Structure formats: structure tokens, C-alpha cells
Amino acid sequence: MPDRVFVFDTTLRDGEQSPGVRLSMSQKLEIGEALAQLGVDIIEAGFPISSPGDFEAVNTLAKALKDVQVCGLTRAREKDIDVAGEALKPASNPRIHTGLGVSDNHLQFKLKMSREEALETGVKAVKHAKRYTDNIEYFMEDSGRADRSYVYKVVEEVIKAGATTINVPDTTGYTLPMEYRDLMAGIRENVPNIDKAVLSCHCHNDLGMATANTLAGVIGGARQVEVTVNGIGERAGNTALEEVAMAFVIREDLFNVQTRIQCKNLLAISRLVSHYTGMMVQRNKAVVGANAYAHSSGIHQDGVLKERSTYEIIDPAMVGAEKSEIILTARSGRHGLKHRLAEMGFNFNEDRFEEIYSKFIEVADKKTEVLDDDLKELVTTR
């Protein structure tokens, strides 16, 4: 029986922190509804004390979405937690996400606290959050650069205080996959009460490792993944929801885990979030990029036309994409051209096809892509 992995979406909180992004309330609600339909388990809708807009987002989604947990972020401060508790009042299963830094860097330069003071502050915050809900997630900011023995101590104490999910953020995107896996595995091995909480991966993409680290964290024993649609988020972004969801499906042999994600909705939600945030999805983006199922070279086209799986590990229909595309360029071969012409209703004998193919190569050498209109002209002139 596969293990369940919970999907915690933070598109509306960490994702909205992307420089230049500001979503309206109605856009947040529409994205929240789409996320619920997609099958995420928890939606982090905002940081309620940070602005009236964030308060309203958490409050509105808490009212509107009943089959998903709605979560509000707080610092480890009573006032933050009270405001989040208020925003989450209408939620059917509210989650408070509180915490503070654990790395010596954050303790010294940002928090100006000793390890002991920070631990005490965190424990107090969890106890305070319990006034509002038993569903408490504790984040240890900058875990990726923290001293492991201190991390183990914090995890043990905040679980004793009532935290039920422990978030281990690689806030600065510093770790490599094997380090992040070992961090999770180390927590599981060294924290005596770890069976009372779910471990969560929260990775940033500063070195392009966010997805790899999250997957490694799951191998290390985490059972929650924190993600955003299209990987948007602070600086280089967060782990991309669509990449993790598809990795679990395509490499089921390795992970043997299950989520509730309806993968066929992935492309639609990617487009929705891109449209509302104004953040373009790069063409070569994994899973949802415009080129993800497009084949340009003759060798690849020949393979895919004979059997799709030669060059595609994902059937585009799985993510809601129409079909693989054959892009005609100077690198395309006869098989690709013949296929496209047949799709357009043109079938020629071998001699005529060779003539057309020579003309096609001449045109293709001048253009990045040969389009249907070019082909029509090519076949109708002699």
C-alpha cells in the first residue's frame, strides 16, 4: 500500500511573494478553488498580520473552501497568531503555520537571539496557537544551514508543545539533494517523539535544486511537500507543484507514494496562475512548458512518430496537454515533414515528395520554424 504524501500549496503566500506579483482577492479565490479541485490538501492563503489583503484572503478562502485545509502564516508572536486565529475562524480545518529561524546566521543577524531564547519563543508560540487549533505546523527557517543537533532539539520540543507538522525549510536554497535527504532522515532517527508529527519539505530554488531536494526529502522520510504552481516564489522560487506531482507518478517504482493531485488539471492551473501573476512560464519548463512535448530534431521526430515513448516519458494527455507536437525546422527529417503534410491532407509520390523536401530545407534554413502556411505555399508552387 503506497504511503500518503500531503501536498501543501503556498502559491498564494510564498508564490505571491515573487517580486512584481500582486493578486486581487477575486483572483486569489479563483486560484484557491482551482487548487482545491486539483486535489491539494492544504492551501496557505496568506500571512494575515502582514496586510488587510492577506487577512481577507485567508478569511475568504477559509469561508469558501470546505474540503481542503486552509492555513495562515505567522511569526512566533502572540499577536500574529491571534490575527491568524481570527482570519481562520470560518475554516473547517484551520492550520496555523508558525515558527522562526534555527540557523546561527538567522539567530545572530536577524533574530538577535540565543539558541535557547529562540527555542523558548517557538515553544511558547506553539502553545499559544493551540488556543485556535490542534492543526499546528512549525517552521524552522533556514534549516538547510543550521546545526543538526539544535534542529533535533527544536523538533522534539515543539512536538511536545503540540506541533503536528514540522516544516524543514531550505529557505536559502543552499542544500544539495543528499544533504536534504540526510537532514530528514537524521530528524527521523534522532528525535524520539517524531512519530507524532509529519515532516514537511519546503525548498527554494537558488541553486536550481528545489524539486530535487523535495524529492530527496521524501526519500528521507518527509510526508508533506510544500510547493507552488509553476515554482513561483521568493527570488528563484519554490518547488514546482507540477514537477513533484509528476515525479511521483512517473517514478512510482521508486517513491511508492500517493497524493490526491488530479494531474490532468496541471496545465490548466499553470496557465491560470501564469495569467494572473503575469509570470511567464519558460518554454522549456518541465511538465507545463510550451516545448515540454514538442520535438524538433529529425532523429527525435522519427522516433516519436514510430513510438511516442522513445522520447517522451510523460504522455501529454496526463497533464491536460493536447498531444505531442512535431515542430518543423531545418533539423527535421523526411518522416516529420511527411507526417505533417499527411495531417494537412497532402500525400505525394516519392519523386514529388523529394522535390518538396528540398524546397522545405531551403525555407527551413532561413526560418526558425516552418509553419503550415509556409508548407501550403511550398506544395502549391512548382
The three three-digit cell numbers of residue 276, written as one number: 494572473
> For ligand KIV, which stretch binds (CB under 6 A), given 112-120, 165-173, 285-293, 329-337?
165-173
Distance between start and end Cα atoms, the chain: 64
Q: Any bridge partners for residue 42, and if so which?
A: 8, 69
CA 22 to chain centre: 19
Distance between CA atoms of 227 and 260, rounded to whole angstroms?
14
C-beta of 17 vs 259, nearer to Zn ion:
17
In the list Zn ion, ligand KIV, none, the entry touching 243 (Cβ below 5 to 8 angstroms by class) is none
C-beta of 139 vs 255, nearer to ligand KIV:
139
Q: Give, as ranges, the residues between 279 and 318 that touch ligand KIV (CB under 6 A).
A: none
Query: Of the candidates 6, 8, 14, 135, which one interacts with Zn ion according to CB under 5 A?
Result: 14
Q: How far is the CB of 48 from Zn ion (least distance, A)?
A: 17
3-state secondary structure of 201: strand
C-beta of 228 vs 296, nearer to Zn ion:
228
Q: How far is the CB of 50 from ligand KIV (least distance, A)?
A: 11
C-beta of 202 vs 295, nearer to ligand KIV:
202
Distance between CA atoms of 207 and 271, rounded to whole angstroms?
25
Q: What angle do CA 266, 268, 272 make, to 5 degrees?
A: 115
Contacts of 27 (CB under 8 A, 6+ apart): 276
> For Zn ion, which stretch binds (CB under 5 A), given 6-14, 242-250, 277-285, 326-334?
6-14
Size of the residue set binding ligand KIV (CB under 6 A): 8
Contacts of 288 (CB under 8 A, 6+ apart): 230, 242, 266, 267, 270, 281, 319
Q: How far is the CB of 300 from ligand KIV (least distance, A)?
A: 38
Q: Give, as ranges, the residues between 185 and 244 that touch ligand KIV (CB under 6 A).
A: 202, 204
Query: Of the candidates 16, 41, 141, 243, which one interacts with ligand KIV according to CB under 6 A?
Result: 141
Q: Is 44 one of the binding residues for Zn ion (CB under 5 A)?
A: no
Secondary structure letter of residue 204 according to DSSP: B
Secondary structure letter of residue 280 according to DSSP: P
Query: Residue written as cell 539544535?
Result: 150
In the list Zn ion, ligand KIV, none, the entry touching 15 (Cβ below 5 to 8 angstroms by class) is none
Secondary structure letter of residue 196 according to DSSP: G
Q: How far is the CB of 115 from ligand KIV (least distance, A)?
A: 18
In the list ligand KIV, Zn ion, none, the entry touching 167 (Cβ below 5 to 8 angstroms by class) is ligand KIV
Q: What angle do CA 101, 62, 198 make, to 5 degrees?
A: 45
Work out the burial of residue 347: count CB atoms within 10 Å of its CB; fewer than 13 is exposed, 13-18 middle, 19 or more buried. Answer: exposed
Element (H, E) at 86: helix 78-87
> For Zn ion, which stretch binds (CB under 5 A), given 11-19, 157-165, 266-274, 327-335?
11-19
Residue nearest to Zn ion (CB): 14
In the list Zn ion, ligand KIV, none, the entry touching 139 (Cβ below 5 to 8 angstroms by class) is ligand KIV
> For ligand KIV, which stretch binds (CB under 6 A), given 157-165, 167-175, 188-196, 251-259?
167-175
Element (H, E) at 165: strand 165-170
> For ligand KIV, which stretch binds (CB under 6 A), given 164-172, 263-271, 277-285, 362-370?
164-172
Distance between CA atoms of 313 and 336, rounded to whole angstroms?
20
Q: Is 137 one of the binding residues for ligand KIV (CB under 6 A)?
A: no
Is residue 67 within 8 Å of residue 31, measured between CB atoms? Answer: no
Query: Of the candidates 14, 16, 157, 302, which one interacts with ligand KIV according to CB under 6 A?
Result: 14
Residues that bind Zn ion (CB under 5 A): 14
Residues that bind ligand KIV (CB under 6 A): 14, 139, 141, 167, 169, 171, 202, 204
